[in-house]
Amino acid sequence: MLSAKRLFREILDHDESFRLFCSIAAGGEAQGGWENGRIAALVPPSQRALAPKIARHGADEDKHGRIFTALLRRRGLTPAPVPPGTDYTMLLERRGIGLSHARLRRDEPLTERDIVVYLAHSRVTEQRAAEQMALLLKHFADHPEIGRAVRMIADDEDDHLAYTHEELLRLAAAGHGRFIQRTLRDCALAEIRVHRDVSLAVMARMSRVLGWSRTRSALLTAGIRAAYCYERLVGWHRMVTLGMPARRDPLGGPVTPAPEFV
């Protein structure tokens, strides 16, 4: 029987597949940390109160990258090169989702619309991250090797998702409602395509590393494509709705040094 728990346990138990998984995750988190750091530095004067929260978001992403690197180090492994087809953040940027790296490298203040684009992009991608971590939390919260990392990252992702809801609702009330909904829809539809492509690329790599049969690989491919069809039809709506979160002001307060994972 194919199950998420069984598949991930296979990846976890094999050094090379675990190395690839952690390397992909660490690279994406480090990229997110850089992006948030640049956005925090370029926040327009009208949104200056948001800068510490964006910086906190970036600090969390940096922390997650260090956690995945530490998991590799514990097993005596070094990071692997990230195959281009598995680079989620790069593929999203190529589709024009979020703020481009070229824009973030310029020392010019962002606009309020840029902040909406950033938050909408984060709302969609943090939905995905929170759901993936919830799945790992369900099956591996008490795992002796990765349990603590899963619990820490899952809690942060829930904070990040709550923060994007809260800030987008604030900006909607300030008159950006239509632009927010349009941007969320564009981000969601692009993200589900990128997620499908990255999932297929990762699955193909894992299949070769773990020696999965053609039948098993075909079943997994069919499952990924079926999930995409569902998301393309109706599933994307969960990524564009906004509601006041139970966690209020989850990234408020000053940025503090992120605790190291040991």
Q: What is the pTM of this model?
A: 0.93
CA-based nearest residue to 206, from 112, 86, 90: 86
Q: What does the pLDDT read at residue 252?
A: 81
Environment class of residue 197 by beta-carbon count within 10 Å: exposed (0-12), middle (13-18) or buried (19+)? middle
Q: Are 58 and 32 in contact (CB under 8 A)?
A: yes
* C-alpha to C-alpha distance for 260 and 67, rounded to whole angstroms: 8
Q: What does the pLDDT read at residue 255?
A: 47
Domain regions of the chain by residue span: 4-185
* C-alpha to C-alpha distance for 88 and 77, rounded to whole angstroms: 23
Q: Are 112 and 180 in contact (CB under 8 A)?
A: no
pLDDT tens, residue by residue, 48-74: 999 999 999 999 999 999 999 999 999
Q: Are 128 and 195 in contact (CB under 8 A)?
A: yes
pLDDT tens, residue by residue, 16-41: 999 999 999 999 999 999 999 999 99
Q: Are 151 and 120 in contact (CB under 8 A)?
A: no
Q: How many other C-beta atoms lie within 10 A of the C-beta of residue 98?
A: 25
Q: Are 28 and 90 in contact (CB under 8 A)?
A: no
Burial string for 28-39 (b: 16+ CB within 10 Å, else e) reads: bbbbbbbbbbbb
Q: What does the pLDDT read at residue 256?
A: 46
Give, in order, the Cα–Cα distances in Å from 229 to each of 28, 108, 159, 236. 25, 40, 29, 10
Class of domain 4-185: mainly alpha
Distance of CA 164 to the CA centre of its chain: 13
* C-alpha to C-alpha distance for 20 and 10, rounded to whole angstroms: 13
pLDDT tens, residue by residue, 102-154: 999 999 999 999 999 999 999 999 999 999 999 999 999 999 999 999 999 99
Question: Could you give the percent of the chain with pLDDT greater than 70?
Answer: 95
Encoded tokens for 122? 């984060």
Q: What is the mean pLDDT of the chain?
A: 93
Encoded tokens for 139? 């099956």
Q: Are 200 and 248 in contact (CB under 8 A)?
A: no
Q: Are 227 and 192 in contact (CB under 8 A)?
A: no
3-state SS class at 261: coil
